[in-house]
Every structure is written in C-alpha cells, then in structure tokens.
Amino acid sequence: MNEIIYILTNEAMLGYVKIGKTSTNLEQRIKELSGSTSVPLPFTCFYACVVKDSHFVEHQLHDAFDNNRINPRREFFQIAPERVVAALKLAEIENITPKRDIVEDREDQEALDEARKRRPPFRFDMVGILPGSEIVFSRDENVKAKVVDSRFIELNGEQTRLSISAQKILGYDYGVAGTDYWMYDGETLDERRQRMEKGEE
C-alpha cells in the first residue's frame, strides 16, 4: 500500500504550506481538500512522495517545523515549501509530484491561472542582488544561473525568467513561482524577499 506525504500550497494563502498524508489516492485527496467551499482556490501540490511510514514521517515533519505552525490543530505552516521538501527527502522512496494542476473543472483552472498572473512581480534589485550574481536551483546545486538584470537570468547561455526556467527544469505543465526554487546565499529568493520586507538583516 502506498503511503504518501504531500506538501500543498495555495495561491490564496501565499507564504503557507499544508503538510499532510494519505494512504489512498493523491489526486483524490487534493480534490477533496480543494473542493471545500471554505477554500477560495484549489490547492497546488508543491511536492509529494511515497514513504515507508506516513504517520511517522508526517509526525516528524510537524514536530520539526512546530515553531512555524499557525494553529496546533491545523496542518498549516508558515515556511518556505522547499525547507519542508529538504527534510522530506530523507524519508522519500519515490517522488510522485504531479506535473499538472489537479482541479475539478475548467472554472477552477481558470481561477488558479488568473491568481498566478496577479502574483506580485519579483525583482532582484528589491532584495539587493546585483547583476552578475550567481543563483542556484534548490533541487540540484549543479544547476546555476547568472543574474542579468532586475528581472532576467542567464541559464545555459540563454536569457530567461525565474518562473519559466523553474517550470522547464521541473517539467511541470503549470506555472510555478521561480522564487520558491531558486536560491541565493543559502535561502530561497522568496525567503530573502520576505525577510527584507520585514526589515530583518
């Protein structure tokens, strides 16, 4: 029997992740969670994998990130999703992250696409990263890119954007937030942005 741990994000709840488990069907579970009328947008599966003991692994993750937990009775954490992925990989047997959005109907897909378009644009100059700086892809430290200007990077000799490059590397059909996957000086670009917006050094 497959035991699955999933990490979900939601465009309506930026900065938060849901860490959960299922022993049935991942797609069905995501649709169940997204189908609630109390959730404005469908969840996106940021990462999912098969593990040996989902109850144990989920408990360990919840315990490890307890300081980031919003409510002790809920599975939501205010943390960069890649931090959870890094810990989860220690127990991973097989990566089964869907490469497409799991939605109930066309209306849900359109709402999700529209929300992604409204995502505030990231610029390197807003976080003090200068042209010529090197950034690293979080899932593979051998994949590196050079910052060209405030919006573009150079990857494999071509100019591209953070999100487009991340989507291509991951092989996903849907758009992703490149700032969740590219790192600079040991933190994701999204973490750096949030830290600086809070005025932290």
Split at pLDDT 50, 70, 90, the class of 1 is: low
Q: CA-CA distances (angstroms) from residue 67 to 71, 72, 86, 95, 195? A: 10, 10, 17, 26, 17
Section 64-90 average pLDDT: 93
How much of the chain, in percent, has pLDDT values that exceed 90? 80
Give the pLDDT confidence score for residue 174 in this predicted structure: 86
Section 190-194 average pLDDT: 91
Section 159-183 average pLDDT: 93
* Distant-in-sequence contacts of 171-175, Cβ < 8 A, 24+ apart: 171/99, 172/99, 172/100, 173/99, 173/100, 173/101, 174/44, 174/100, 174/101, 174/112, 175/113, 175/116
Q: pTM for this one?
A: 0.87
Contact 134, 144 (CB under 8 A): yes
The DSSP secondary structure of 38-100, one letter per residue, reads T-SS--EEEEEEEES-HHHHHHHHHHHTGGGBS-TTS-EEES-HHHHHHHHTTT-SEE---SS
Give the pLDDT confidence score for residue 132 in this predicted structure: 97
Convert the pLDDT of each residue in 13-27 to its tens digit: 988 999 999 988 899
Domain spans of the chain, in order of start: 3-115, 124-197
Split at pLDDT 50, 70, 90, the class of 201 is: low
